[in-house]
Amino acid sequence: MALFYYPFLALATAGLFAVFGIHLAALLGATYPFEHFVMILGPGVFIVWLPTMLVSFRMTRNVKQRDFWRAALRGCPKWMQRVLWILAGYSWIGFFALPLIYGGGMEAPANKARSMSDVLLIFYAIAACVLYSAIQLEKPGKDSFCVNGHRISPLAKHCEECGAPARAKFNPQNLI
């Protein structure tokens, strides 16, 4: 399965860096990169989000709704998860704050470029992180096991089969 994720991870990562550049340009007042590439980067989100959703549902089976992101991102190193949360916060606040900071209203082309590239940024970032996480978890021994070696659900503290605790490495407290 991991082989199937690689091309989408590559697309999501390329999209992320492209949108990052476009967003920076828009912040500095150059909106033509956004206007030029939105035709590719807009639909591109759907191409990378389809496998991202499929794989995140697979990774979060038997997981409570509130643990969804912790489970989906558990293959990512902590720094990556932190960067993603910071980006998510920036994207959420920026969407509303940027037009106010720059003035001219939501409908102004420059504000559209800034707000929309801000949203594309977090969508590409989530896709890249979830796909990366999935690839890491496909590697042998990366998923959750109890001390007796039974495969357990991602955030379980104890084995459903023998009741033994989860291996310390995969302790839910270590996930984030």
- Return the number of the residue (9 or 146) whose C-beta is nearest Zn ion: 146
Using CB under 5 A as the binding rule, whether residue 14 contacts Zn ion is answered as no
Residue 56's φ and ψ, nearest 5 degrees, are -70, -35
Region binding Zn ion by CB under 5 A among candidate stretches 30-38, 99-107, 133-141, 153-161: 153-161
40-69 residues near Zn ion, rule: CB under 5 A: none
Task: State which of residues 22, 38, 59, 146 lies at the interface with Zn ion (CB under 5 A).
Answer: 146
Task: State which of residues 63, 98, 137, 159 lies at the interface with Zn ion (CB under 5 A).
Answer: 159
- Return the number of the residue (82 or 158) whose C-beta is nearest Zn ion: 158
Using CB under 5 A as the binding rule, whether residue 164 contacts Zn ion is answered as yes
Using CB under 5 A as the binding rule, whether residue 142 contacts Zn ion is answered as no
65-94 residues near Zn ion, rule: CB under 5 A: none
SS3 readout for the chain: CHHHHHHHHHHHHHHHHHHHHHHHHHHCCCCHHHHHHHHHHHHHHHHHHHHHHHHHHHHCCCCCHHHHHHHHCCCCCHHHHHHHHHHHHHHHHHHHHHHHHHCCCCCCHHHHHHHHHHHHHHHHHHHHHHHHHHHHHHCCCCCCEECCCCECCCCCCECCCCCCEECHHHCHHHCC
Using CB under 5 A as the binding rule, whether residue 162 contacts Zn ion is answered as yes
Task: State which of residues 40, 161, 169, 174 lies at the interface with Zn ion (CB under 5 A).
Answer: 161
Residues near Zn ion, by CB under 5 A: 146, 148, 150, 159, 161-162, 164
